[in-house]
Structure 1
Amino acid sequence: MRKKLFRATVLMVVPFFASLLIRLLYVTNKKVFHAPKSVGSEPIIFACWHGELLMLPYLYFQYRKTPNAKVLISSHFDGLLISKTIEYFGLETIAGSTNRNAAKVLIQGIRALKDGYDIGITPDGPKGPRHEVADGIVIMAKKTKAKIALFNVKPTKFWQLNSWDKFIIPKPFGTLHYYSTSEIDVSEMDIEEAKLLIKEGLLKHEA
């Protein structure tokens, strides 16, 4: 009972303050967008590495002034914290991962794309291996013919956690470099070829 009460309190308090922190970090950093002006109006899959997830909403908002996206987030407790946090930015979530409850998550993602939602996904989440692309993103793209845009967020000043994904938290008063590719069509590729293309694209701006 005590554990449940603690978790319920954390879920009420932490996401609110986390959303404020994200906004504070955004406004106290310079922003440079290295990105195409448009990725089209059709539903699209936005992908970034799990460790760069924190500041992702602001790159998405460059393309969608009115948020209309569902983000695949782990159903574990840390995933619930992320889900509650990104709700403050108008983003919905699909609980699960392409490693756990894979079929259910893929079906929900495919249905959301067909219903007109964009999908946000971390191809190496929720537990890694870091910078390795799972099959799920490619399967969703091939089943729906949805295009993929690859996102990176590279702050000039940051803290890096000692977690499996080396999670990055920008420091104030630096510069946030946002990168996005144009639309990528993997519908005619085999899965391994598409995964390699996605991985190489997401690693393009690694130091």
Structure 2
Amino acid sequence: MLKKLKQGWKNFSYRCFAFLIATIGKALIRILLATCRWKVHGLEKYIKIAEKEKCIVMFWHNRLALAPFILYHLTPQFIYAAFISNSRDGELIGRIVRSYKTGRVIRVPHHSRHEALREMIRHVNFKKSIAIITPDGPRGPRYKMKPGIALAAIETGAYVFPLNWMATSFFTFKTWDQLRLPKPFSTIEFFFGEPIKFSSDVPLNIAQIYLQKSLKE
């Protein structure tokens, strides 16, 4: 009983900590981006397709710091659903995503890839929202495309949009993904890449390679 109480308190404390960090982090990113110059590429085509079709947005895990803010700021008309693992790291990311009005979080088992994939396919097929995925998450290897997103794209027939950003100067953190954050007063370019759509007979490994090449590092 005592052990359960301690674990419950530990989980509650971490959720409070995650909420605090997410709130502060969101405010700091907003201030940071206000000092930067933005350039956006490919937005019109993305909006045109996303208004009518099933879509998945993918970006590398180390670009995660800006993605929720940018998607909300540039496309507030869309609802986004982030597939996040049931890990402690996932709790923090989930708090950030949910802090935006158009952000939804779907928690998936950290150690059950098949269940997570089924949930992703089910969600995209119902077209309740646009799925956002980090294909090298939740723990890497960095810049290594996992097959799940390729299989989801083949099974659902959804358009996959690579999302990336580059900054003239940025901080790199000592995390497994080498998380990036633009420095104040830098110039940031955001890229909505060309949409990718696979037919149902495309081999999984070919689709995976194609998606890997579509995301610049």
After TM superposition, the score normalised by the length of structure 1 is: 0.90
Q: Which residue of 1 aligns with 2:164?
A: 152
Q: Which residue of 1 aligns with 2:32?
A: 25
Aligned CA distance change for structure 1 residues 135 and 105 (closer, same or farther; 3 Å): same
Q: Does residue 169 of the first structure (1) align with residue 176 of the second (2)? A: no
Q: Which amino acid aligns with 2:135?
A: P
Q: Which amino acid aligns with 1:180?
A: F
Q: Which amino acid aligns with 2:58?
A: A
SS of the equivalent of 1:94 reads strand
- After the TM superposition, which residues 158-197 of structure 1 pair with which residues of structure 2 at under 5 Å, given as runs? 158-187=170-199, 188-197=201-210
RMSD (CA atoms) = 1.9
C-alpha deviations, 1:164-205, integer Å up to 9, x for none?
1111012211111101112101234211111111111112xx
Question: Percent identity over the alignment?
Answer: 26
C-alpha deviations, 1:100-141, integer Å up to 9, x for none?
321221122112112222110011111111111111101111
For the pair shown, which has the larger CA radius of gyration, 1 or 2?
A: 2
Q: Which runs of 5+ in 1 are unaligned?
A: none
Q: Does residue 198 of the first structure (1) align with residue 205 of the second (2)? A: no
What is the aligned length? 203
Shift of 1:11: 2.5
Q: 2 CA distance for matches of 1:126 and 1:68?
A: 22
Q: Which amino acid aligns with 1:158?
A: F
Q: 2 CA distance for matches of 1:12 and 1:112?
A: 26
> Would the aligned equivalents of 1:110 and 1:143 in 2 still touch at CA under 8 Å?
yes
Aligned CA distance change for structure 1 residues 12 and 163 (closer, same or farther; 3 Å): closer
Q: Which runs of 5+ in 2 are unaligned?
A: 1-5
C-alpha deviations, 1:23-54, integer Å up to 9, x for none?
12222211011224122021200000001111
Q: Which amino acid aligns with 2:185?
A: F
After TM superposition, the score normalised by the length of structure 2 is: 0.86
Q: 1 CA distance for matches of 2:169 and 2:67?
A: 16
Aligned CA distance change for structure 1 residues 12 and 65 (closer, same or farther; 3 Å): closer
